[in-house]
Amino acid sequence: MSEERGSQSVRSVRGSAIRDLLAITERPGVLSLAGGLPAPELLPTVRVAAAAEAALGSPAALQYGVTTGAPALRDVVHARESAKLGRDAGAVVVTHGSQQALSLLAQALLDPGDVVIVEDPGYIGALQAFDTTRARVVGVPMDADGMRVDLLRPILERGGVRIVHTVSNFHNPGGATLADERRRELARLADEFGFWIVEDDPYADLRFAGSTVPPVAAHTDRVLRLSSASKIVAPSLRVGWMHGDAGVLALVERLKQGADLCGSSLTQAIAAELLADTDWLDDHIATIRELYGERAKALHAELTEAFGDRLALTRPEGGMFLWGEFADEVDTAALLPAAIDAGVAYVPGAAFAVRRDLTRALRFCYTTSSPGDLREAVRRLATVL
């Protein structure tokens, strides 16, 4: 049910299949469901320009900043995360997107030979970060309720597990959300075995159906929780953060000094202003949710109409991705060039495989296409499959 991926040399780090693909899918005429980008029409250019101008009233916005992040930004993040948890969120370090949080945590917590448990299919950014250590990456399958937490105990009993990584809400690429009872069980296991849970939660605010489930971090303090302004404000602010245990975060701060000294005072000032303006932010997030909800529904309907029972689909309650798995012998990686020739792109499941055979699976991103484009993309896909 689970198996190690094999330790990797620092020099054999895998490239991201997705980022390599992006170059191809940006070919004119291709309707790309392969990316993982926020809808460009909702990026708040006017609001950011105003915040930039305000911040640049002081030269401090152009100067070096403190390694842990601008105090005003850390304060608003702390308040935001404490509200989500229903308790004090602990220490906060602002990172260069939550990708840097993954990278620094991998450096801080993992020694060669340590075991990291990830979901399978896995989030590629996390796999890349863990691959640069010489830790052993072990995949655990998911179902419609997220990671199969019931499969963890035998792996934990073999020893050496240092981190369990989970994208708890609207998994990338799997689409599923970790069920409440599984979150509580994962927290109990962390308390019992003493590993760290890395709860990677960039999509929590993008829920457009169902109801909010409390974070894993609501149930134990053995969680380093990651989130980001990328999906609710803008990726190019490069403002992510992690919060939790002060001891781990002090080590992360030292490692961040060596990694890049500090983040951008300018983009952190912009992020602090926009995240603190809750009236604007709540409205903005509501707009994103509504658009993504419509698009997710449209894509699900089109795929169901085109492929019926041949294609098992997640029904996302939020986030940016829809995951599908064909019932018949389809090799989604082998078919991709033909799909691109037909003018449509997706990411083959194999790109996310830790150990499972995901040959028949594929990931769609619905955020950047209108319902009309989604309909046309599925029509093109059907001509190839």
Q: Where along the sequence are the contacts to its own copies (CB under 8 A)?
A: 10-11, 13-16, 19, 37-38, 40-41, 43-46, 48-49, 52-53, 56-65, 67, 95-97, 99-100, 103, 107-108, 111, 125, 128-129, 131-132, 230, 234-238, 251, 254-255, 257-267
Cβ-based nearer residue to its own copies, 125 or 343: 125
CB of 109 to its own copies, least distance (A): 9
Q: For residues 201 and 105, what is the distance between their CA atoms, to the nearest angstrom?
A: 15
Cα 152 from chain centroid (whole Å): 22
SS3 label, residue 120: strand
Q: For residues 223 and 226, what is the distance between their CA atoms, to the nearest angstrom?
A: 9
SS3 label, residue 33: coil
Q: Which residues contact 181 (CB under 8 A, 6 or more apart)?
A: none
Give me the helix-helix angle, 332-341 and 371-384, nearest 10°: 120
Cβ-based nearer residue to its own copies, 152 or 354: 354
Q: For residues 355 and 55, what is the distance between their CA atoms, to the nearest angstrom?
A: 47
Cβ-based nearer residue to its own copies, 54 or 334: 54
CB of 210 to its own copies, least distance (A): 27
CB of 320 to its own copies, least distance (A): 12
Residue carrying the six token digits 């150990």: 355
CB of 182 to its own copies, least distance (A): 28
Q: How far is CA 250 from CA 137, 247, 268, 291, 362, in A?
A: 25, 5, 20, 39, 39
Cβ-based nearer residue to its own copies, 37 or 313: 37
Cβ-based nearer residue to its own copies, 67 or 359: 67
CB of 41 to its own copies, least distance (A): 7
Cβ-based nearer residue to its own copies, 41 or 309: 41
Give the CA radius of gyration of the chain.
20
CB of 120 to its own copies, least distance (A): 19
Cβ-based nearer residue to its own copies, 259 or 333: 259
- 10 Å CB burial of residue 358 (0-12, 13-18, 19+) is buried
Cβ-based nearer residue to its own copies, 63 or 278: 63
Q: For residues 129 and 150, what is the distance between their CA atoms, to the nearest angstrom?
A: 26
Q: For residues 266 and 77, what is the distance between their CA atoms, to the nearest angstrom?
A: 17
CB of 259 to its own copies, least distance (A): 5
CB of 161 to its own copies, least distance (A): 18
Q: In this structure, what token pair is assigned to residue 216?
A: 């894993």
SS3 label, residue 319: coil
Q: Where are the alpha helices (DSSP H) in the chain?
A: 17-25, 45-55, 71-85, 97-109, 124-131, 152-158, 180-193, 246-260, 265-276, 278-307, 332-341, 371-384
CB of 71 to its own copies, least distance (A): 12
Cβ-based nearer residue to its own copies, 101 or 217: 101
CB of 302 to its own copies, least distance (A): 25
Q: For residues 90 and 195, what is the distance between their CA atoms, to the nearest angstrom?
A: 18
Cβ-based nearer residue to its own copies, 359 or 367: 367
